[in-house]
Amino acid sequence: MNNPISEISLNSPEPEEIKISQERNYYIVKRSDLIQDIRYKKGQGSGKALNLIEQKIILYMISHIKPEDNELQSMIFDIPLFCEVCGIKKAGSGYYKQIKKALDGLLDKHIWLTSGDVEESARWIEKVRLTKTKNTVEIQLGEELAPFLLKLRENYTKYSIHNILSMKSKYSPRLYEILKSNAFKAPVLLYDIEDLKEFLDATNYDNKEFKRRVLDPAIDEINEYTDLEIGVMYSRAGGKSVKYVKFIISDLNKGDDAEWGKRMARYLSVESDLERKTK
């Protein structure tokens, strides 16, 4: 590809604390199927999910996409500023090695994007340039991601990046996005537990460990840091092992409390009926 890559600089002459505060309130907007269609099946890509720092790099970049952008631009940002914004603690002598390791991981990972009966492999990032003396990095998002991030008018999920910045579990941002992208449909969401493991790249855990290591920490962080309040219930099939995970969601950004309450009562009634049928 010989076309020159347009660039934007994320550096600013503003005082650092003001810049950090502003960037923590930028919005992430992505097509909802970029969240909902990604799965990690056992033995087929397990371990290819993004770790916590990798997720924060991608989400940080998405938060800097402007509504008027017509293409995914190469972005240059200050590594210490990025780490301060994203709550990444300095390890050893500095941030540089941490970020370089995360970028190495991102360069090795891809996702499959589906459109009808067509599946296309897409890289998260396709260009990286680190300048050690300046402590800056230039990154280009994968161009195949453009339809999922630019000029979105419908079927998209939007949230402020501050919701995920304090999270410590790699499963928390992923579960938050899954629930956030579906919360408008109903205040109660029901998932087959095996499907949920695939969404979260946790197929290596049995149900007990999945709850302890994945769901419990993620739900705690979502409730502490985000605009969602989550309750969870587990349903068994035939009195045996857990078959379904039910999330009861309260979106703190919701508008009409009375209407939300009506919807909650309606869906709780439906889910209770479904639970009786699965016993």
When pLDDT is averaged across residues 219-237 and rounded to a whole number, the result is 93
Each domain of the chain, given as residue ranges in start order, spans: 7-149, 168-278
Q: How far apart are the first and last CA of the chain?
A: 57
> What's the fold here for domain 168-278?
Arc Repressor Mutant, subunit A (1.10.10)
Cα separation, 23 vs 68, whole angstroms: 18
Structure tokens at 156: 């998209």
Q: Kindly give the pairing relationship between strand 74-78 and strand 7-9.
A: parallel
Q: How far apart are CA 195 and CA 193, in angstroms?
A: 5
Output the pTM of the full model: 0.84
CA 215/CA 242 separation, integer angstroms = 14
pLDDT in tens, 42-93: 554 444 789 999 999 999 999 999 999 999 999 999 999 999 999 888 766 6
Q: Which one, of 30, 28, 50, lies nearest residue 105 by Cα?
A: 50
Which pLDDT does position 1 carry in this prediction? 46
Instruction: Say what the pLDDT of residue 181 is.
Output: 94
pLDDT tier for residue 275 given thresholds of 50, 70 and 90: very low
Measure the CA–CA gap between 253 and 131, rounded to whole angstroms: 40
Q: Do domains 7-149 and 168-278 have the same CATH topology?
A: yes
Which CATH number applies to 7-149? 1.10.10.10
